[in-house]
Structure 1
Amino acid sequence: MNSQERKVVALTCLAHGLTHVYMLIFPAVLPLMLQEFSGGIFRLSLVGNLAYFTYGLGALPAGIIADRVGSRRLIAVGLLGVALASLAIGLSPTLTALSLAMFLFGTFASFYHPSGLAWVSKGVRTQGRALGYHGMAGNVGLAFSPFIAGAIAASYGWRGAYLLFALPGIALGLVVLFSGRAHAPAEAEAHSNPSEAKLIGAMAIPPTLILVYAIATLGGFIYRGSLTFLPTYLTEKVTINVLGIEGTTLGGLITTIALLIGMMGQYAGGRLAERFRPEIVWALLMALLTPLLFLLGRLANAPLIAVTMGFILTYFCSQPVGNVLVARFTPSRSRGLGYGISFLFTFGVGSFATGFSGYIAERYGLNRIFYTLGGIALLALTIALILTWVSARAEGEHEGDGVA
């Protein structure tokens, strides 16, 4: 990489990590928000769902806008917008104002992924290495957000967490906005290479890809439903004192450690998908994920911490396997569209898990969330087994045609 490309990677990595930090503030501070707003956990979870739904829904239009106005500009607007929305959340006097601020928060956050990935792919020649760094940065943001946000909230309240986190968004947004001249040559160089152009056309969706999208949607539901309430659940169920840390801060710390372990899961999942049939690997991971979710609903203290680590490791191991399958069943000219649809289903449709899980928690208790998600994982396992059979049959027919 030359100096311009390194700057593109550095800025997108920072923006990617910060975007994931923003999206996990809510679950980390939810216990403190419940003390201020009436209406219970279900009502507040619906408010949080506004941010998560627009975060997924906005990805497709954001990709279209990025192609027209430029990725860098849209990233800058997104960072500045989500920072201002974070300020609005911290200053919200009523639940109605909080809901509007959450809606804007998710909308601006949705700008990042399609524009960030486009900037990396167009502005850096060594795309594989750059996208690897980019993914790791996102996981770092996921891992440290619950602990940092929980620690800030424990000292300054949940409003303080949102107000303080607005500062890095404003700073990074301005840096990206005024970095145009430094990165224009690299981006132009990538644009000028016709051999790397990606033509997006109509895509006939094969049955195998439909099954992949179905599993990805259920996986997104599990992801959002579990991570939104996991810090709160750990705060309630882990009553032991760990190194003098307890309560909300401890719940955030456990989640942070688990998400760091999840980074190893992503690496392992990618290697497994290379060595074995990814459909079989995905089915095996769903088979492991199902009992882990049921165990999460039954355990407490040290056993719960151990199972939490196993659950996060297994879930993140499944993510690269699903991404490999999207690439496998999508034509190269429609690869971006294929991943865009996958992101919409995973985080857009999956966002409904926040309100759904909040309803389950309020009516039946927090532990029932994980029983419910275990049932959803069982459904994902069933579809994964069908995918394995359909894919093997399709390959057999293709080989038969080749022999004939």
Structure 2
Amino acid sequence: MALSANDRAIAGFAMTGHGLVHWFETSVPIFLVVWLAEFDVSNVLVGLVVALGYAPFGIGALPAGILADRFGPKTLVVACLAGMSASFVILGLTGSLAGVAVGLVCWGAAASIYHPAGLSLISTGVEQRGRVFAWHGMAGNAGIALGPFVAATLMAVGLPWQRAALVLAVPGVLAAIYGLTADFDSTAAVDDETDADADEVLSLGDLLTDSRTLFASAFALVFVIVTFEGLFYRGMLTYLPEILHGSDALAGFDPGQTLRGIEPGDYIYVGLLVVGIVGQYVGGRLTDRITPARGLLSFFAVLAVLALAYVPVLSLGGGGPTALGAVIALSAIFGFTLFAIQPFYQEAVAVYTPPESRGLSYGYTYLGEFGLGAVSIAIGGVVLDISTPTFLATMAGFAVVGAGLSVVLAVGLDTILGGGSASSPASANE
């Protein structure tokens, strides 16, 4: 069945917004490599600056969801696009680490708006939500891969990082302008009664009551699991370009200063993000066959092994084809697994929360994934200054904790809930 004109309009707008959020997000680790060299500062300091930018990305999810109910999701998505673009303009006009911090904080605050507003727009405006959600996820993964690829390429051909940031802002400006003129019904998929209920803004008292109820259920455990996934995800993706730069395995492929610090490792990083698109799709299909807890346990265990595997692989001397091939192969498997786990925690939220709390549940989910997960950037800067193996062991530790909590979710939930809960896994995958 073909999508309606309204569904197509919302799909195009939301896919553009989702892709651009991650376009900006994943370009930052590429810039981080250049900032370390240009400002001549430690991993610890740059890590704290980048963490300041990524933290609002998650922390702002809850207030953004409330604002979306008050002002409408379309308005909030346009504001998100404009704010992210303006933030990268700030980056493009600065020449100091303090200016970078300001730009990143502004970006994080603006970017935090997208997920609650964009998902709300699809859920209330699109009749064929399943198809559009699938496209929406693919667009996000495309942005994840294209952002660092374009950033690395712009600097590889000679653009200073400030000008590269300005170029990256252009699609966001164009998308915001398009959003101002886009014509669609953002409530086409809900009836009048539901639409009227949606106009009631959640009060602070209701928010606290609903939150207490939510965290008294199995969602509390799911939230902690998601947080540890976020700690692993954010730490690895932020510092992996820097780690690849300093590896013995790629030493023989250093192009020198002519590429302004952009090296083959940056393109390996982009490649693993591209492979992640496949991982996201496969993981999504597997959620129909494997319970969320078992899927999380399996993928967390693999991620821990892969993080530790980087220690010997990156130490391969000589920089020959064998070493390069080993790094590429490991990174491809890592990228696949890193994104294949994500549909499982998204499914876990759906399985272990009641429908009436689903929006609030996902708000907290993004708080854990992107907000609390950003703490690993600061932690990562400290342990990476000690040594690369220490950093990778720390990241593997996050994955091991996530695996252990997934065991509790898989085998201990009935005991925790006392059985018979509406949010028990009994309904999963039926």
Q: How far off is 1:193 after superposition?
A: 4.6
Structure 2 residue matching 1:187: 3-state secondary structure: coil
Question: Is 1:354 aligned with 2:357?
Answer: no
* Deviates further, 113-122 or 302-311: 302-311
> Contact 2:278 / 2:336 at 8 angstroms: preserved in 1?
yes
Residue by residue over 1:213-254, the C-alpha shift from the partner in whole angstroms, topping out at 9 and shown as x without a partner, is 111100000010000111222222223449999862422221
> Contact 1:72 / 1:115 at 8 angstroms: preserved in 2?
yes
TM-score by length of 2: 0.86
1:149 matched residue in structure 2:
151
> Contact 1:213 / 1:345 at 8 angstroms: preserved in 2?
yes
Structure 1 residue matching 2:312: 3-state secondary structure: coil
2:181 matched residue in structure 1:
178
**5 Å matches for 1:380-395?**
380-391=402-413, 393=415
Unaligned runs of 5+ in 1: none
Unaligned runs of 5+ in 2: 315-323
Shift in alpha-carbon separation, 1:135–1:367, aligned structure 2, 3 A: same
Question: Is 1:325 aligned with 2:348?
Answer: yes
1:256 matched residue in structure 2:
270
> Contact 1:228 / 1:354 at 8 angstroms: preserved in 2?
yes
Which residue type is aligned with residue 230 of structure 1?
L
CA RMSD of superposed structures (Å)? 2.5
Question: Is 1:370 aligned with 2:392?
Answer: yes
Question: Is 1:77 aligned with 2:79?
Answer: yes
Which residue type is aligned with residue 178 of structure 2?
V
1:12 matched residue in structure 2:
14
Shift in alpha-carbon separation, 1:174–1:249, aligned structure 2, 3 A: farther
Q: How far off is 1:151 after superposition?
A: 1.1
Shift in alpha-carbon separation, 1:29–1:380, aligned structure 2, 3 A: same
Distance 1:136 1:6 in 2: 15
Shift in alpha-carbon separation, 1:249–1:141, aligned structure 2, 3 A: farther
Distance 2:418 2:35 in 1: 55
Which residue type is aligned with residue 303 of structure 2?
L
Question: Is 1:90 aligned with 2:76?
Answer: no
Shift in alpha-carbon separation, 1:268–1:172, aligned structure 2, 3 A: same
Which of 221, 232, 235 pairs up with 1:222? 232
Residue by residue over 1:294-337, the C-alpha shift from the partner in whole angstroms, topping out at 9 and shown as x without a partner, is 11133223322222221221121111111111111100011111
Residue by residue over 1:132-154, the C-alpha shift from the partner in whole angstroms, topping out at 9 and shown as x without a partner, is 11011000110122221111122
**Across the two proteins, how many residue pairs are aligned to each other?**
395
Structure 2 residue matching 1:93: 3-state secondary structure: coil
> Contact 1:125 / 1:190 at 8 angstroms: preserved in 2?
yes
Q: Percent sequence identity over matched residues? A: 31
Which of 315, 336, 344 pairs up with 2:367? 344
Q: How far off is 1:93 after superposition?
A: 2.9
Which residue type is aligned with residue 162 of structure 1?
A
2:133 matched residue in structure 1:
131
2:319 matched residue in structure 1:
none
2:358 matched residue in structure 1:
335
Distance 2:417 2:108 in 1: 41
Which of 163, 166, 182 pairs up with 2:166? 163
Distance 2:24 2:415 in 1: 43
Distance 1:50 1:100 in 2: 9
2:330 matched residue in structure 1:
307
TM-score by length of 1: 0.91
1 or 2, which has the higher helix percentage?
Answer: 1
Distance 1:396 1:111 in 2: 37
Shift in alpha-carbon separation, 1:38–1:127, aligned structure 2, 3 A: same
> Contact 1:82 / 1:108 at 8 angstroms: preserved in 2?
yes
* Deviates further, 196-205 or 34-43: 196-205
* Deviates further, 94-103 or 70-79: 94-103
1:192 matched residue in structure 2:
191
Distance 1:315 1:45 in 2: 21
> Contact 1:286 / 1:377 at 8 angstroms: preserved in 2?
yes
Which of 59, 62, 74 pairs up with 1:60? 62
Distance 1:312 1:168 in 2: 26
Q: How far off is 1:255 after superposition?
A: 1.6
